[in-house]
Structure 1
Amino acid sequence: MILINNCNSIDNGSISILPEVLNVKYAINGTGKSTVAKAIELTMKGTSLAELKPFKYRDSSDTANEPSVAGLAPGSIMLFNDEYVSQFVFKADEVLTNSFEIFVKTESFVALTDEIEQAIADIRKTFHQSSELDEIISDMEALIASFGKPTKKKGYAENSPMARGPGKGNKIQHIPSGLEGYSLYLQSDANTKWIKWQLDGHSFDQNPGHCPYCTSSTEEMKDTIMKVGEVYDANYIGHITQLTKVMERLRDYFSSPTEAKIEQVIKSPDQLEDEHYNFLLEVKDQGVILLEKLKSLKFLGFVSMKDVGKLEDMFSSMKIDISFLSHLESQKTKDITDPINVAIDGIMRKITPLKAAVGKQKSNIRQTIQRNKKEINEFLKTAGYKYEVDVDEGDASYKMRLRHVDHAAPIVSGAKHLSYGEKNAFSLVLFMYECLARNPGLIVLDDPISSFDKNKKYAVLNMLFRGDRCLKGRAVLMLTHDFEPVIDIGYTLKNKFSHPHEPFITFLRNRNGVLTEKVVASEDIKTFQVVCRENIDSAPNVLVKVIFLRRFVEIGGEKDAVYHLLSNLFHKRANPRMGAADTAPLMDAADVTDATNRIATYIPGFSYATALTEFTDETFMLAAYSAARSNYEKLQIFRIHKDGILSGDDVIDKFINEVFHIENDYIMQLDPSEFEIVPDYVIAECDRILGIV
């Protein structure tokens, strides 16, 4: 039993959720279904319930009125609602966030991945045991990036850090004549900040000839001060400083001749010439080769080994022959590359079982993808949606994409093309697969199918709870204001939804903030005729009996003498007529007698005159209204008593005159005398009009 207190419109209440069962909670709108879903989600996630605090308590500091949920242990939960659809479904390049995790990463995939990882464990070990590998990768990336995007004429960009820093000559190492006094600042670790500080001072020079920082005279130093800004800027200093540090960290990986030349070029006081750039580009190009091999080995895994037939060639190409990278031919580099080459040789010696594991993994993935595609596409077709899904195999991942059956290319964003109902239906199916992958302790569906037509509703229910891979046998809470799934799950197709356990269906009611639930058994779901006949027999007075008899007659659609006599009684006419209009012809005595006798077969001893006397007696009508067994009966008694003189509010009048009078078209339904399908606020308006406090 779950106890909910002070959550939005729910002051207190309780519901039951059975394990390993489909729990259906049927309720009219306004009961607090979404509040129940959110309260359960926040509680199981161990998150604060503050957002659910009722507005009437939000200005109060009394902790007694804080939201709370009891009887529910923390655990894993997945909630389907509008928030799920907007956050996780129909992203720009795939239909569901992390579709790989959901549609490809099976238990078999994980087991084979572990086997493959074991086979390449020596490569992994070389990276784990050497912290320098990550450092050299990072520094090589910085060196390569410093050349920018090559142009057609040159192998570097004119606006690159290399060209705009060392390319202009190193004026940090070689400070121009007259600026030697600033060397302490220009050669410090904070030189970039200092030059910004120095240049910013010029914008405050509102008193020419005086320092903006100390207000002392600058006349004698003015030319020197201005020269600093002419020679240096923050970007130049930043480029020089950064590249000098990168080269310093990489120096041990360069051959001795290369190291000496780099030192000469980077620290040259003069602008670099073409021969200098050509030399630096040679170093960069060899760095690119080494970097690509190191990165391919660092991120080596199944995805990079999918071409089983070329594994020998792939690993052979990953070996690093440093003798052909003359600029990087140093002992420091060999200390890194030699263990890697040894590890690759070890993999080559056991390439056969590795190829078998990779091949089996590919086959399993292919089968998994085909199975998921087939199931989802069959659902989309059965539900009448002209869309299909496919799983694209990218360079580093698998992504599920959506396309229209009339167009080959994937849809970039399903959210822009699918209708609200299509998005909801598709999202529900994707949600189901995510639940199967993550296996949460509780699955909550907040009003999941009310936006669909009848065919699509059942297609979704069938997919969710009756497929080979579905949510049956799991703890599922489905909250709905739609009665059709209750009919399918609890009555007409009950045997199809009872495996392995029979669904647990209840009706939720929120009366003045108190939430209660009532079990809905299969025998509670009745045909329209049965509901009327049972209430004709069980009603406490003639007034309620004729209300249900009139409904019973209406379903036949034939407006005969019985229908007209009951209608006249509802309009309290002393002289019955054959129609609703006051000008309609009077019913003849034979028709009245025939209708009375036929009514008496349902209501023994029925007398039109006696009933008319009671219907026109205000004391009797108010007593019957107060004693009514349900809101539905109150509403019908109110309508007869007021005889068309209603609230003056079009919406309330619509409820009274039509919604719960002639528009209820359920073939199957719950007995409105036992289950409150009429909202309390409608009855509250009736009470107001009748003067009942």
Structure 2
Amino acid sequence: MDGSEYLNNTEICPFCTASIKNTKETILRVKEEYNYKDIEHLNNMLKVFSSLHLYFSEETYKQIEKITNNISGITDENREFLFSIKREAEVLVNQLRRLKNIGFVALEKENRIADALGAYKIDLGNFAHFKSELSREKANIINKTLDKMLEKARDLSIEISQQKRSVQQTIRNYSKEINIFLHCAGYDYTVSIENEENSENYHLKIKHKQCNNNIGQINNYLSYGERNAFALVLFMYSAIKDNPDLIVLDDPISSFDGNKKFAILNMLFKNANSLRGKTVLLLTHEFSTVIDSLKNMKRLEGLVNADFLSNKRGRLKEVSVNVDNIKSFHEIARENISSQIDTINKLIYLRRLLELINPKSMAYEMLSSLFHKRAVPSKKLSSTDFEDMNEAEISEANNEIRKHIGDFDYATEYQKIIDNEKLKQLYRDAKSDYERIQLYRVRFNQNSSNEVIRKYINETFHVENDFLFQLNPCEYDTVPYFVIVECNLEMLGTDEIETEE
């Protein structure tokens, strides 16, 4: 390529080493006519055409071969012919790329999926240069796959149409009930079913009571809880229509406010147009759901079976719950004070009962002194100041405590509380984890270094937030397992303890 640069430096041809005495002018003229870069690009292009020859029609390949072997160069007609092949190839490649990227995003805005998929099929009648056996083979593979998708799309289209009609009919049948529910639950919305103009498509329309316009982008207006409420109601009507053997609701209302929880539960099991009378498994962490189902919704009496589930080390335990098990804290405290548990645990319940009834009584002060391991009972003057109780105050406190626990003796119980080995033995002998964490709290007055566990234990040692109605924690294993594991480690030095079944 660079040989012509040396023509003026020698009488020998830099290309063939022959004498250039009579040919130098001819060689220089070749340089003027010959653009090696154009030829290099042309050769590369023709190599591409050659490597793809199996995809070209027989006529196209013969013409390419003819152009390749033409020593006189490429004419304008040849160039246009090659460009026509390039244009067809670009269209075909773009269609293949669309096929490669086909998916939900590509089809989500298509109203008629079957028609949209049909547009992806490859018709070699539109690609005259590529009508070869190999091209047909590849196109057939793609088209057969699309035919299978089209078959499924048509089935899906039928099901979607059926679903649309079902939703339409459901909303029309139950829109009055849905709107009553929305009103009672405090949602300022109404629903209706409307069809699109010049369309068979129907949509659930939601309006705010203070606005006549339909809400467009639901996510921009409705909160997560409001969307869930709508979803639950529509699910209920869908389940009524499908009439399955079993309906599972996994903690469906725990994220709602108190008044909305009952409104939703009431809607789900209200009357004939509800899940009432069907087999429903409702799982929940909310005890208020159990209270409402067993105690407050009289229409469900005899229809609901409730069970308390606990899971420790992979062992699932189930304990039946009935309306008689739902007790006030006052009932539970008195029941456990009169039971056969150790006096220390009885006194803990009594202290919590007194905290609820009369937290300023001398009996409460005496029990607080006992659990804070004061040898002499004292009364609290401020957050940091205490004063020893006098004889009259001690007598008053003893009399009140002995109304509940007849053999109470401060000195005896104090010796038990300061004896760590005794507390450890009581901890081992306790019949429930709830009793254990009370004993743990007595021994470790500062409680755990873990803030979550410390808060849990402190709340159970005093009056709990849900003291109004609850299950007896000595009968139902309400203590989270990770809490008792931490207590076991600090109390016994091991994370396991043998318990009676």
| 2:365 paired residue among 564, 581, 588 | 564
Which residue number corresponds to residue 655 of structure 1?
Answer: 456
Matches within 5 A, 1:183-198: none
| 2:79 paired residue among 226, 236, 239 | 226
1:211–1:218 Cα contact (<8 Å) kept? no
Q: Aligned with 2:282: secondary structure? A: strand
Q: In the alignment, is residue 508 of structure 1 matched against residue 302 of structure 2?
A: no
1:492 is displaced (CA, Å) by 3.7
Which residue number corresponds to residue 497 of structure 1?
Answer: 300
Q: Aligned with 1:578: secondary structure? A: strand
1:414 is displaced (CA, Å) by 1.9
Larger displacement relative to structure 2 (479-488 or 425-434)? 425-434
Which residue number corresponds to residue 423 of structure 2?
Answer: 621
Matches within 5 A, 1:378-397: 378-394=180-196, 395-397=199-201
Q: Give the counterpart letter for 1:387 in structure 2.
A: Y
Which residue number corresponds to residue 419 of structure 1?
Answer: 223
Matches of 2:70 and 2:407 in 1, distance apart? 119
Which residue number corresponds to residue 192 of structure 1?
Answer: none
Q: In the alignment, is residue 631 of structure 1 matched against residue 433 of structure 2?
A: yes
2:332–2:472 Cα contact (<8 Å) kept? yes
1:387–1:404 Cα contact (<8 Å) kept? yes
Larger displacement relative to structure 2 (526-535 or 659-668)? 659-668
Matches within 5 A, 1:469-484: 469-484=273-288
Matches within 5 A, 1:364-443: 369-394=171-196, 395-443=199-247
Q: In the alignment, is residue 521 of structure 1 matched against residue 322 of structure 2?
A: yes
Q: In the alignment, is residue 547 of structure 1 matched against residue 342 of structure 2?
A: no
Specify whether residues 236 and 551 from structure 1 end up closer, same or farther in structure 2 by C-alpha distance, changes over 3 A only: closer
1:221 is displaced (CA, Å) by 4.9
Matches of 1:208 and 1:542 in 2, distance apart? 98
Specify whether residues 690 and 366 from structure 1 end up closer, same or farther in structure 2 by C-alpha distance, changes over 3 A only: closer
Which residue number corresponds to residue 471 of structure 2?
Answer: 670
Per-residue CA distance 1:230-254 (angstroms, 9 max, x = gap): 5666459989xxxxxxxxxxxxxxx
Structure 2 portions without partners, runs of 5+: 1-37, 52-64, 93-160, 495-501
Which residue number corresponds to residue 498 of structure 2?
Answer: none
Q: Aligned with 1:574: secondary structure? A: coil
1:583 is displaced (CA, Å) by 2.2
Specify whether residues 522 and 210 from structure 1 end up closer, same or farther in structure 2 by C-alpha distance, changes over 3 A only: closer
Per-residue CA distance 1:511-547 (angstroms, 9 max, x = gap): 1111121111211111111100000011421111101
Specify whether residues 449 and 237 from structure 1 end up closer, same or farther in structure 2 by C-alpha distance, changes over 3 A only: closer
Specify whether residues 230 and 573 from structure 1 end up closer, same or farther in structure 2 by C-alpha distance, changes over 3 A only: closer
Matches of 2:45 and 2:399 in 1, distance apart? 118
Q: Give the counterpart letter for 2:264 in structure 1.
A: V
Which residue number corresponds to residue 41 of structure 2?
Answer: 205
Q: In the alignment, is residue 688 of structure 1 matched against residue 489 of structure 2?
A: yes
Matches within 5 A, 1:145-160: none
Matches within 5 A, 1:99-178: none
Larger displacement relative to structure 2 (210-219 or 480-489)? 210-219
2:277–2:303 Cα contact (<8 Å) kept? no
Q: Aligned with 1:523: secondary structure? A: helix
Q: Give the counterpart letter for 1:474 in structure 2.
A: K
1:566 is displaced (CA, Å) by 0.9
Q: Give the counterpart letter for 1:673 in structure 2.
A: C
1:663 is displaced (CA, Å) by 3.4
1:389–1:402 Cα contact (<8 Å) kept? yes
Specify whether residues 207 and 637 from structure 1 end up closer, same or farther in structure 2 by C-alpha distance, changes over 3 A only: same
1:484 is displaced (CA, Å) by 0.4
Q: Tell me the number of residue pairs that the alignment of Structure 1 and Structure 2 aligns.
A: 367
Specify whether residues 207 and 374 from structure 1 end up closer, same or farther in structure 2 by C-alpha distance, changes over 3 A only: same
Matches of 2:470 and 2:403 in 1, distance apart? 25
1:459 is displaced (CA, Å) by 0.6
2:356–2:463 Cα contact (<8 Å) kept? no
Matches of 1:217 and 1:674 in 2, distance apart? 97
| 1:611 paired residue among 408, 413, 425 | 413
Matches of 2:465 and 2:423 in 1, distance apart? 24
Which residue number corresponds to residue 254 of structure 1?
Answer: none
1:562–1:598 Cα contact (<8 Å) kept? yes
1:208 is displaced (CA, Å) by 7.1
Specify whether residues 370 and 631 from structure 1 end up closer, same or farther in structure 2 by C-alpha distance, changes over 3 A only: same
Matches of 2:354 and 2:275 in 1, distance apart? 43
Specify whether residues 636 and 659 from structure 1 end up closer, same or farther in structure 2 by C-alpha distance, changes over 3 A only: closer
Q: Give the counterpart letter for 1:514 in structure 2.
A: R
Per-residue CA distance 1:89-126 (angstroms, 9 max, x = gap): xxxxxxxxxxxxxxxxxxxxxxxxxxxxxxxxxxxxxx
1:211–1:217 Cα contact (<8 Å) kept? no
Matches of 1:553 and 1:614 in 2, distance apart? 22
Which residue number corresponds to residue 110 of structure 1?
Answer: none
1:366 is displaced (CA, Å) by 10
Specify whether residues 619 and 486 from structure 1 end up closer, same or farther in structure 2 by C-alpha distance, changes over 3 A only: same
With structure 1 as the length reference, what TM-score do the two structures score?
0.49
Matches of 1:407 and 1:377 in 2, distance apart? 16
Specify whether residues 238 and 535 from structure 1 end up closer, same or farther in structure 2 by C-alpha distance, changes over 3 A only: closer
Q: Say which one has the larger Rg.
A: 2
Q: Aligned with 2:456: secondary structure? A: helix
Q: Give the counterpart letter for 1:496 in structure 2.
A: R
2:434–2:479 Cα contact (<8 Å) kept? yes
Q: Give the counterpart letter for 1:422 in structure 2.
A: E
Between the aligned residues of both structures, percent identity stands at 38
1:209–1:222 Cα contact (<8 Å) kept? no
2:355–2:462 Cα contact (<8 Å) kept? no
Which residue number corresponds to residue 590 of structure 1?
Answer: 392
Which residue number corresponds to residue 640 of structure 1?
Answer: 442
Q: Give the counterpart letter for 1:464 in structure 2.
A: L
| 1:577 paired residue among 373, 378, 384 | 378
Per-residue CA distance 1:614-656 (angstroms, 9 max, x = gap): 1111121111111112111111110011121x33222222222
1:370 is displaced (CA, Å) by 4.8
1:487 is displaced (CA, Å) by 0.9
1:429 is displaced (CA, Å) by 1.1
Specify whether residues 233 and 666 from structure 1 end up closer, same or farther in structure 2 by C-alpha distance, changes over 3 A only: same
1:210 is displaced (CA, Å) by 6.5
Q: Give the counterpart letter for 1:497 in structure 2.
A: L
Specify whether residues 203 and 429 from structure 1 end up closer, same or farther in structure 2 by C-alpha distance, changes over 3 A only: farther
Specify whether residues 229 and 542 from structure 1 end up closer, same or farther in structure 2 by C-alpha distance, changes over 3 A only: same
1:418 is displaced (CA, Å) by 1.6
Which residue number corresponds to residue 6 of structure 2?
Answer: none
Matches of 2:438 and 2:353 in 1, distance apart? 14
Q: Give the counterpart letter for 2:391 in structure 1.
A: A
Per-residue CA distance 1:288-325 (angstroms, 9 max, x = gap): xxxxxxxxxxxxxxx9xxxxxxxxxxxxxxxxxxxxxx
Matches of 2:330 and 2:417 in 1, distance apart? 25
Per-residue CA distance 1:208-233 (angstroms, 9 max, x = gap): 79755389654335225313135666
Larger displacement relative to structure 2 (561-570 or 646-655)? 646-655
Q: Give the counterpart letter for 1:442 in structure 2.
A: L
1:636–1:661 Cα contact (<8 Å) kept? no
Q: Aligned with 1:519: secondary structure? A: strand
1:210–1:217 Cα contact (<8 Å) kept? no
Larger displacement relative to structure 2 (468-477 or 550-559)? 550-559
